[in-house]
A and B are shown apart, each in its own frame.
Chain A
Amino acid sequence: MLVSEGDVLEYDVVVVGGGPTGSTTARFAARQGADVLVLEKRQEIGSPVRCGEGVSLTWLDELEIDDYKKWTSQKVVGARLYSPAGNTLEITEKMAGDEVGVVCERDIFDKEMANLAAREGADFMVKTSALGLIKDDGMIKGVKARSMGKNFEIHSDIVVGADGFESQVGRWAGLYGAISPNDIMTCFQYRMADIEFDSRYTHFFLGSTAPGGYVWVFPKGEGIANVGLGIQVSRLDGSKTPKDYLDEFISSRKEFEDGEAIDMVAGAVSVAPPAEKTTTDGLILVGDAARVVDPMTGGGIVNGLKQAKIAGEVIGECIEEGRFDDEFLQLYEKRWRDRLENKLWRNYMAKEKAMTLDDKTFDKVIDALSDLGLEKMSVGAILEGVYERYPELIKEFEDML
């Protein structure tokens, strides 16, 4: 799309951020007949990748995705969790040879989500930054933007903040301030080639090797994997970076003896409770910007997509009713919270507890769980297993199980 300095574009909806939740909000809003424009500040949707790329497949029907193979790098049949002393818990689902998850190609995934939105009629502008919100009589009525050196405005009935962990839209709208350093994981990852891990499993290393977080090894094929970690910001004293922790982990293990790093990824993710408020007059937040990342796993895609579908559908209703005020937008607030909030809070409580455990406790718990033969790869199933063996660890939130 060509714009000139000072142009004013008119849309029903402007979405700030061309990640999967931005595109998916656009997709479902456009399907309801909305004129939608998605702004992406980078020149390429999906790149650079800032993700471990492991994702479950349980949500495909809900999101109406029929072909996941085009963005799948490696199918996974289960997970292995390792305690600091090397005790191992293997979780495989006994489902007629079905894979329980995949390690995806995030750049292809993001572009496919954008493609689905474009096919519903959404417009996209890449290499275009939002600079601020336009307000009129208390309502948010669009964004100021800049593309290829040109400043212009988009006037809209509703703005969607889908701008991720570092969301500016949420802050501009006054919906939240800072996140506690306890609730931020700062992450570093290499793509490692020529390593020796079973590529049918995702691998998770728990304990002080990644304080407050974990190390992941997510296979991208035979002998190649995303190897990364997240560390709670409040546990860092400035003497060691996440990269230092990962380098130490890699040099301590023989599986990486011949390994070569062929890319580097950095980033951060919130493991906070969901934002208290995700709407205001003429604006909603979705995805990482709404703080719906799973606090236990740090995974943001699935919750974000489920929330984005609800957002798109509610926007359709807004247009039908001609209502974009905060009171009407409570429809969105209520529907996504009914769908996602209980599990977000349960996993937040579980994360808070897990962060207090020392290495010996991880050894003990992993050892006890490996006897149980867990057959479901989910945080809920693991928590139920822990509850069976160590109810005292779950006591504070047992009613949420």
Chain B
Amino acid sequence: MKPEVDNDICMHCGACVGTCPVNAIFLKEVSVEISDDCAECGLCVKACPVAALKGGI
């Protein structure tokens, strides 16, 4: 399962985007999207400064 983004918590900072090893996360203007390229490594979940990403490990 790829992680889910809680957009109530997400600050759109891009920490997960730059951390993602397979470039599967995209920063949109008011949201973050994770594509099906997600390798389910969980690094973005760790990198999130505010725990807005859940699951995915």
Genuine A/B complex: yes
- Tell me the nearest residue of chain B to A229, going by C-beta: B49
Q: Does A14 contact B (CB under 8 A)?
A: no
Is A264 a contact of B51 with CB atoms below 8 Å? Answer: no
> How many contacts between A and B, using CB within 8 angstroms?
82
Chain B contacts for A188, CB-based, 8 A: 49-50
Q: Would A266 and B50 be within 8 Å (CB), given that A50-B13, A181-B43 are in contact?
A: yes
Within 8 A of B (CB), among A223-243: 233, 236-238, 241-243
Within 8 A of A (CB), among B11-54: 11, 13-15, 17-23, 27, 29, 42-43, 45-51
- B32 to chain A minimum Cβ distance, whole angstroms, is 11
Cα distance A49–B48 in the bound complex, in angstroms: 17
Is B49 a contact of A267 with CB atoms below 8 Å? Answer: yes
Q: Would A184 and B47 be within 8 Å (CB), given that A177-B21, A268-B14 are in contact?
A: yes
Q: Would A268 and B46 be within 8 Å (CB), given that A238-B57, A241-B51 are in contact?
A: no
Chain B contacts for A187, CB-based, 8 A: 15, 49
- Tell me the nearest residue of chain A to B15, going by C-beta: A268
Q: Does A178 contact B (CB under 8 A)?
A: yes
Q: Would A186 and B48 be within 8 Å (CB), given that A177-B21, A179-B19 are in contact?
A: yes
Cα distance A167–B47 in the bound complex, in angstroms: 16
Q: Does A164 contact B (CB under 8 A)?
A: yes
Within 8 A of B (CB), among A79-135: 127
Cα distance A50–B20 in the bound complex, in angstroms: 19
- A292 to chain B minimum Cβ distance, whole angstroms, is 15
Q: From the candidates A42, A171, A266, name the one contacting B15 in the complex (CB within 8 A).
A: A266
Chain B contacts for A238, CB-based, 8 A: 42, 45-46, 57
- A235 to chain B minimum Cβ distance, whole angstroms, is 9
Q: Does A202 contact B (CB under 8 A)?
A: no
- Tell me the nearest residue of chain A to B26, going by C-beta: A168
- A227 to chain B minimum Cβ distance, whole angstroms, is 14
Is A236 a contact of B18 with CB atoms below 8 Å? Answer: no
Is B50 a contact of A184 with CB atoms below 8 Å? Answer: no
Chain A contacts for B45, CB-based, 8 A: 238
Cα distance A370–B17 in the bound complex, in angstroms: 40
- Tell me the nearest residue of chain B to A164, going by C-beta: B14
Is B21 a contact of A186 with CB atoms below 8 Å? Answer: no
**B interface secondary structure, majority:** loop
Is A184 a contact of B49 with CB atoms below 8 Å? Answer: no
Is B15 a contact of A267 with CB atoms below 8 Å? Answer: yes
Cα distance A184–B21 in the bound complex, in angstroms: 12
- Tell me the nearest residue of chain A to B10, going by C-beta: A266
Q: Does A165 contact B (CB under 8 A)?
A: yes
Cα distance A50–B17 in the bound complex, in angstroms: 15
- B28 to chain A minimum Cβ distance, whole angstroms, is 9
- Tell me the nearest residue of chain B to A177, going by C-beta: B21
Q: Would A165 and B14 be within 8 Å (CB), given that A171-B23, A181-B19, A233-B19 are in contact?
A: yes
Q: Would A268 and B50 be within 8 Å (CB), given that A171-B23, A181-B43, A238-B57 are in contact?
A: no
Q: Does A166 contact B (CB under 8 A)?
A: yes
Cα distance A242–B15 in the bound complex, in angstroms: 12
Cα distance A265–B14 in the bound complex, in angstroms: 11
Cα distance A270–B49 in the bound complex, in angstroms: 14
Chain B contacts for A267, CB-based, 8 A: 13-15, 49
Is B46 a contact of A236 with CB atoms below 8 Å? Answer: yes
Is A266 a contact of B47 with CB atoms below 8 Å? Answer: no
- B36 to chain A minimum Cβ distance, whole angstroms, is 17
Q: Would A166 and B51 be within 8 Å (CB), given that A184-B19, A233-B43 are in contact?
A: no
Is A243 a contact of B49 with CB atoms below 8 Å? Answer: yes
Is A266 a contact of B21 with CB atoms below 8 Å? Answer: no
Which among A41, A171, A178 has the highest number of chain B CB atoms within 10 Å?
A: A178
- Tell me the nearest residue of chain A to B14, going by C-beta: A166
Which among B18, B19, B23, B27 has the highest number of chain A CB atoms within 10 Å?
A: B18
A-B residue pairs in contact (CB < 8 Å), sample of 13:
A41-B27, A166-B27, A179-B18, A181-B47, A186-B48, A233-B47, A236-B47, A238-B42, A241-B49, A241-B50, A266-B50, A267-B49, A268-B49
Residues of B within 8 A of A (CB): 11, 13-15, 17-23, 27, 29, 42-43, 45-51, 57
The 3 closest A-B pairs by CB, nearest first: A178-B21, A268-B15, A166-B17
